[in-house]
Amino acid sequence: MNDASSTRTERDSLGPREIPAQAYWGVQTLRAVENFPVSGLPLSPHLVRAYALIKEACAAANRQLGELDDRRARAIEQAARELAQGQWRSEIRVDVFQAGAGTSTNMNVNEVLANRALEILGHPRGDYQELSPNDQVNRGQSTNDTFPTALNLAILFALSDLERAVNVLASALEDRGRAFASVPKPAVPISRTPCP
Rounded to an integer, the average pLDDT of 99-114 is: 93
% of residues, the chain, pLDDT over 90: 82
- How does 94-107 read in b/e, with b if 16+ C-beta sit within 10 Å? bbeebeeebbbbbb
Which residues lie closer than 8 Å to 179 by C-beta, 6 or more apart? none
pLDDT digits (tens, 9 = 90+) for 55-100: 999 999 999 999 999 999 999 999 999 999 999 999 999 999 987 7
At residue 178, does pLDDT exceed 70?
yes
pLDDT digits (tens, 9 = 90+) for 136-166: 999 999 999 999 999 999 999 999 989 999 9
Report the alpha-carbon distance of residue 180 to residue 170 in Å, rounded. Answer: 15
Which residues lie closer than 8 Å to 125 by C-beta, 6 or more apart? 8, 21, 22, 23, 24, 115, 118, 119
Cβ-count burial of 130 within 10 angstroms (0-12 exposed, 13-18 middle, 19+ buried)? middle
Say if domain 7-160 classifies as CATH 1.10.275.10.
yes
At residue 190, does pLDDT exceed 80?
no
Query: What ranges make up the beta strands (E) of the chain?
Result: 7-12, 15-20
Rounded alpha-carbon distances, angstroms, from residue 40 to 67, 95, 96: 37, 6, 8
pLDDT computed for residue 3 by the predictor: 52
At residue 188, does pLDDT exceed 70?
no
Cα four-point dihedral sign 128, 23, 80, 162: negative
DSSP classification of residue 91? G
Residue type, 88: W
pLDDT computed for residue 11 by the predictor: 92
Mean pLDDT of the chain: 92
